[in-house]
């Protein structure tokens, strides 16, 4: 085999390997962005629910907080988010 054909074959193999790695990188990047978006949405929801709980705790008298159905529902929502 001539030197030129060997170089061409090495170049072709390298190009194919590079395309394969780029495809894997693209797939990984898409997955990362999807997870990042989900994470941000979950954090926002958690902050909202925690804020609702704090407001309820301010409104409901302290002696009734433990028995409050609204507080229990908010606590369940927090557990779902976590």
41-70 per-position pLDDT tens digit: 999 999 999 999 999 999 989 888 888 898
User: Band of the pLDDT at 1, cuts 50, 70, 90?
Assistant: low
Measured CA to CA, the distance from residue 78 to residue 50 in angstroms comes to 7
State which residues form the domain around 27: 3-81
Residue with tokens 């705790």: 57
pTM score, two decimals? 0.68
Measured CA to CA, the distance from residue 20 to residue 11 in angstroms comes to 14
Q: Is the pLDDT of residue 11 over 90?
A: yes
Count of domains forming the chain = 1
């Amino acid at each position: 085999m001539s030197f030129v054909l060997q170089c061409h074959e090495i170049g072709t193999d390298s190009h194919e390997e590079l395309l394969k790695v780029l495809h894997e990188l693209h797939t990984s990047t898409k997955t990362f962005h999807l997870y990042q978006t989900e994470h941000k949405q979950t954090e926002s929801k958690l902050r909202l629910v925690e804020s609702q709980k704090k407001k309820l705790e301010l409104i409901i008298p302290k002696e009734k907080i433990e028995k409050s159905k609204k507080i229990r529902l908010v606590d369940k929502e927090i557990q779902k988010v976590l």
